[in-house]
Structure 1
Amino acid sequence: MITDPNCGSKQYQDSLVAKYLDRGAHTISYLSPKWALYCDSLIAACPNIAYAYQQKAMPLIKCGDYAKAFPLVDKAVALDANRWLAYRGFLKCIFTKDYAGAIIDFQRVAKLKPNGREMDHTYAFYEGLCEMETGNYKRAEAAFNYDMLLQRGTTGQGEIHFNSLCYAGILALKREQYAQAQSYLERCLKMYAQHPEANYYVALVYRAQGQEALAMQHFNASQRALIGGYRLNEDNIFYANYPGQITEYEVVQALKQRGN
């Protein structure tokens, strides 16, 4: 229950966020116990600020304590679905692998904010990942196509994110559509030549077609990229594995299979 009548004022809420988060929690490590205390103080002062619950949940998410984090995220969504519903869908897709739940969230938020984005990607991008990971390849293809359509924009000239191309390629590989997979993955590599996953999966495409020299070239490029510190370039790869994300282990195993 809101006890302070000022909590209905956006200006008052902003002043509390500045006090307890901007000049409080955000001045220390999110691993500090004081982080949660700052968030609790903000919630006690104004329990209707959705951001307070999301910020309290954030360290728990990064530490993998989803059981404690998600009730807080759910509270943030209940208070401000327009801002936090897509975020919850993202967490379900990438962190907890609740693909069915993520799709529901993204389809719901798409009605609130058509063509919106979360973490640099369209909602359709995440729906594509979820459908791909659950084996619904036709729906995944439709989602990835829509994702790329949205990125092209009304002029049709917008740049497509390299990871959209990468995942469209991975999906095509899963469907044994090798020409299409090669096209998507090579386009990804033109944008980001050191992309470890794109190099790895296009190598699998070449191997499947008997082009072992090209396969080895890209497996080696993938390994060099990983050793050099190149990654998917998604902000949260340090806290959760993205679909299809690889390590050097997978590349080494693929290199050992040469000629088998």
Structure 2
Amino acid sequence: MEKWWPLFLSLLAPACGHAQPASRPPAGDCASKAYQDTLVARYFDRGAHRISYLDPRWAQYCDSLIATCPNIAYAYQQKAMPLIKCGDYAQAMPLIDKAVALDANRYLAYRGFLKCIFTKDYTGAITDFQRVAKLKPNGREMDHTYAFFEGASELELGHDKLAEKAFATDMALQRGADGQGSVHFNTLWYAGVTAQRLKQYAQAQTYLQQCLKAYPQHPEANYYLALNYRFQGQAAPARQHLEAAQRALIGGYRLNEDNIFYANYPEQITEYEVTQALKELRN
């Protein structure tokens, strides 16, 4: 019975904690891309990626790869990922910094995304996206242009004119050289919020209505369009869109961004804000 006790303790290890690295395999040429690929296949394709990232063995696989070749940026990003999703940014971000130091071309925009959405380091996010734009002009991260995240960050910093400029760039890149490309509904929502902050109510209404044409149940677009109407003294359409936002949230509709399960996006709302706005409208 005693020989099962260490196994039992290992199963009780916290999912977001740390695990000891496994033994190191025979050394190879860590500068070789081919050797790096064999390690990634061994520790991730046939290892970590076959279990949950919440399993303590995930960190063991990462540590084993790092112990074998400490110059593979992907290992640090993968070790950081469960920590990010668990909210342990203090432990995660130094790992992401290491990944960026080893491969800025691949991970600089990813770090900027994390700063914008997870750690709320908006100034740092802008710096990262402006830097990576020089490495990879017109690149994208998490299905958005770099300008999208710059705009969201500028908006949160209260730099409304800079946000307006960033979202204009974002929309231009999405439309493309022929101007025929579609614009993501969340870009239209953010552009609407920015125009509203600048008291450009007609422009804000246009953006938010375009967002709702693409995604009628968008809670935030309905909410901010309601505010836009309220600012202009139009109570009836304001109430209509607040009620639409409330129904959408109750029905489970959200921004349709993958990472909203782990962090709130800038200007994202809850049912509480909608309820309060409805109360204020009745008074």
Aligning the two structures, in what range does the TM-score lie when normalised by the shorter sequence? over 0.9
State the one-letter code of the partner of 1:174: R
Larger Rg belongs to: 2
Q: Within the alignment, does 1:105 sit opposite 2:133 as a pair?
A: no
Answer yes or no: is 1:114 the counterpart of 2:146: no
> 1:1-260 alignment to 2 at 5 Å?
4-260=27-283
Distance in 1 between residues matched to 2:89 and 2:77, nearest whole Å? 13
Distance 1:208 1:222 in 2: 17
Residue 259 of structure 1: CA displacement?
Answer: 3.6
Aligned-partner SS, 2:281: coil
Please, what TM-score do these two structures have when normalized by structure 1? 0.97
Could you give the per-residue CA deviations for residues 186-226 of structure 1, whole angstroms, max 9, x where no partner exists?
Answer: 00000000000000100111111111111111111111111
Q: What letter matches 2:139 in structure 1?
A: G
SS in 1 for 2:77: helix
The CA distance in 2 between the partners of 1:7 and 1:155, in whole Å, is 45
- TM-score of the aligned structures, taking structure 2 as reference length: 0.89
Q: How many residues matched?
A: 258
User: How far apart in 1 are the matches of 2:133 and 2:122?
Assistant: 16
Q: CA deviation at 1:5?
A: 4.5
> Does structure 1 retain, via aligned residues, the 8 Å contact 2:73–2:98?
yes
- CA shift at 1:47, angstroms? 1.2
Alpha-carbon distance in structure 1 between the residues aligned to 2:119 and 2:138: 24
Measured after TM superposition, the shift of residue 12 of structure 1 is 1.7
Task: Give the AA of the match of 1:64.
Answer: G
Q: Give the whole-Å Cα distance in 1 for the aligned partners of 2:79 and 2:245.
A: 37
In structure 1, how many angstroms separate the alpha carbons of the residues matched to 2:60 and 2:28?
23
1:152-178 Cα deviation digits (max 9, x unpaired) = 111110110000000000111112211
Which whole-Å CA distance do the structure 1 matches of 2:176 and 2:90 have between them? 39
- Tell me if the contact between 2:28 and 2:35 (Cα under 8 Å) persists in the aligned partners: no
CA RMSD of aligned residues (A): 1.1
Letter of the structure 2 residue corresponding to residue 89 of structure 1? G
Q: Distance in 2 between matches of 1:5 and 1:30?
A: 27
Task: State the AA in 2 paired with 1:195.
Answer: H
